[in-house]
A and B are shown apart, each in its own frame.
Chain A
Amino acid sequence: MARAISPRKKLMWTALAWGFGLLIFFPILWTFLTSFKAESTAISDPPVWFFFDWTVQNYHDVLERSNYPLALMNSIIIAVGSTLLGIVIAVPAAWAMAFVPGDRTKDVLLWMLSTKMLPAVGVLYPLVLIAKYFGVMDSRLLLVVVLMLINLPIIVWMLYTYFREIPGEILEASRMDGASLKNEILYVLTPMALPGIASTILLNVILAWNEAFWTILLTTVDAAPLTKFIASFSAPEGLFYAKLSAASIMAIAPILIMGWFSQKQLVRGLTFGAVK
């Protein structure tokens, strides 16, 4: 039986939920508004909300002063590249752990997750030294590999959880039906795991896109993605809030739009294993 809720209570809760929603969304809204203000309006006190002279000058300036297309391209390559490389490595690992687990599979999974609890800065020096030794500092390859390694435990865990939901008997049935290992993976496993693989890809593209620690520290110009692009508008020439906001909006817009269109998959990805 559904619980009875009085209209007044419903109204109250709805208002409260909207209030929280707006609170969380506010920084993005403010950044968006600021990006269309003149620098002087951007720092005015009291702040101006909607009634100012809207200008796209900041976007012009940002595009003129730095190489946005390169940063965007770098972000796409690093985010997509590290995710796909991660999937290629994680799929066999997750398959093995889900369908032919050994005595220590649980331990391996926990150990992998424990690496995520390590402060990243702890491996910064060794990593920089290794990168320098191989001469790959400030390269897309380095970022693809590093971000892949950073997110690999999450990719393996997510895939493992999805694969676990696939009943082993169905795979055995395909074996009885004469499917080779290749056909079993191609015709039975992959189609059944596709929603899971898709949400894993989406979530990890977002994680890699937003990753700022490694991308800022390991790049200078050539491989600098959008995170570095935003950062470059904060420090050296003093603070220019309007331009910084314009740069931020340009950096988050692509991933925001992608997230909007794939909400359904994402929610499933974030609540994986919660509901069968």
Chain B
Amino acid sequence: MGRITLEKVQKKFGEVEVIPPLDLTIEDGEFVVFVGPSGCGKSTLLRLIAGLEDVTGGEIRIDGQPATNLPPAKRGLAMVFQSYALYPHMSVRKNIAFPLKMANMPVEEQNRRIETAAKALNLTDYLDRRPGQLSGGQRQRVAIGRAIVREPSAFLFDEPLSNLDAALRVGMRLEISELHKKLETTMIYVTHDQVEAMTMADKIVVLRAGHIEQVGTPLELYHTPRNLFVAGFIGSPKMNIIGGETAARHDAMHIGIRPEHMDIVESGGSFVGKVGVAEHLGSDTFFHVHLAEMDEPMTVRATGEVGLRYGDTIHLTPQADKIHRFDKKGLRIA
């Protein structure tokens, strides 16, 4: 079991309020991702749940039991750190065994669990090596191994993939998702990468300056962002935000149109502009289009190859039902 509830949880560092009182429920078995720009308090929130930081106010419950004042060791959670945080003076085997040794588990049971974890994570051949002799991906696996052998009620991941190169990151992303499907244990995952959030999460918590901006499934956030911040943060490339008269015509302060919801037409579109830089990905082409009514170029996604060149005139029409409207406060207009 691993149901985690936060009630009015608050954190101050001295006078600075990093996390204003906040409520959140994480259901048993859920894969929850905390996402937001750096400095938004997502790592602090994770460390509060872990018990590595003390809360300034509020209550944390794990499976209904008060855990606010429990030391990290007593919360039954396991954590994977950004730097892996392996014990450099211990072999891989001893690293994985450490939490079991601390729990005074019988040696036979320890060995059985280590073998199982090593097999699942492809580490069997490396059990006698030191962390310093392993590659980044292997170290990450050891860190995960050390977390799973304890059979914790929830896993906490603090930007675990940000030290890996792009190709490895995609691989590990799949492995972690796979692990979650297999173990069905609660996982809380912190990242600043919205692609990781979208691909892995059951539920995404978007944070800004310690505030929860929106909680929802990846597609809920994509289709119905609650405000301008979430609209701009979720989705790649970013949503085009347009203000001024164009927005006023839609009875809004700002309107948002995703690059993939903008159609290129022969003539007479809603927007007319000049083609700027084009990014060719093969399957897609992203055009940066300069419009008279906007300071920033508008991004447009076209499928496949389109015969437009730098400086050409382009006509665009947004898909009518995919226009997001926002009011003066930046909130979504339903």
User: Which residues of A come within 8 Å of B, CB atoms?
Assistant: 167, 169-170, 172-180, 183, 187-188, 191-192
Contacts and interface: CB of A to CB of B under 8 A. Distances in A.
Contact of A172 (B78, B81, B89, B103): B81
B255 to A, nearest CB: 44
Contact of B98 (A167, A177, A191): A177
Contacts, number: 59
Given A169-B82, A174-B98, A176-B73, 12 more contacts: A172-B52, A173-B86, A173-B87, A177-B73, A177-B98, A177-B99, A177-B150, A179-B73, A180-B102, A191-B89, A192-B88, A192-B89
Interface in B48-103: 50-52, 71-73, 77-79, 81-83, 85-89, 98-99, 102-103
A65 B173 CA distance: 79
A200 to B, nearest CB: 18
B102 A178 contact: yes
7 A-B pairs with the lowest CB-CB distances in the bound complex, closest first: A173-B85, A177-B99, A178-B102, A169-B85, A178-B73, A176-B79, A175-B72
Contacts of A173: 79, 81, 85-87, 146
A167 B83 contact: yes
A28 to B, nearest CB: 38
B144 to A, nearest CB: 13
Interface in B90-142: 98-99, 102-103
Contacts of B82: 169
Nearest to A167: B83
B87 A170 contact: yes
A176 B72 contact: yes
Contacts of A167: 83, 85
Contacts of A174: 87, 98
B73 A175 contact: yes
Given A167-B83, A175-B52, A183 B89 contact: no
29 contacts: A167-B83, A169-B81, A169-B83, A170-B87, A172-B52, A172-B85, A173-B79, A173-B81, A173-B87, A175-B51, A175-B52, A176-B50, A176-B52, A176-B73, A177-B78, A177-B99, A177-B102, A177-B150, A178-B99, A179-B73, A179-B98, A179-B102, A180-B102, A183-B102, A187-B98, A191-B89, A192-B87, A192-B88, A192-B89
B87 A176 contact: no
Given A169-B81, A172-B52, A172-B81, A178 B103 contact: yes
B296 to A, nearest CB: 39
A224 to B, nearest CB: 42
A194 to B, nearest CB: 8
A143 to B, nearest CB: 36
Contacts of A180: 73, 102
A183 B51 CA distance: 18
Contacts of B85: 167, 169-170, 172-173
Nearest to A190: B89
A188 B86 CA distance: 10
Nearest to B101: A187
Contacts of B86: 170, 173
A178 B89 CA distance: 18
Nearest to B77: A176
A178 to B, nearest CB: 4
Contacts of B150: 177-178
B102 A176 contact: no
B7 to A, nearest CB: 23
Contacts of A191: 89
Contact of A176 (B78, B88, B89, B103): B78
A179 to B, nearest CB: 5
Nearest to A168: B85
B322 to A, nearest CB: 43
Contacts of A183: 102
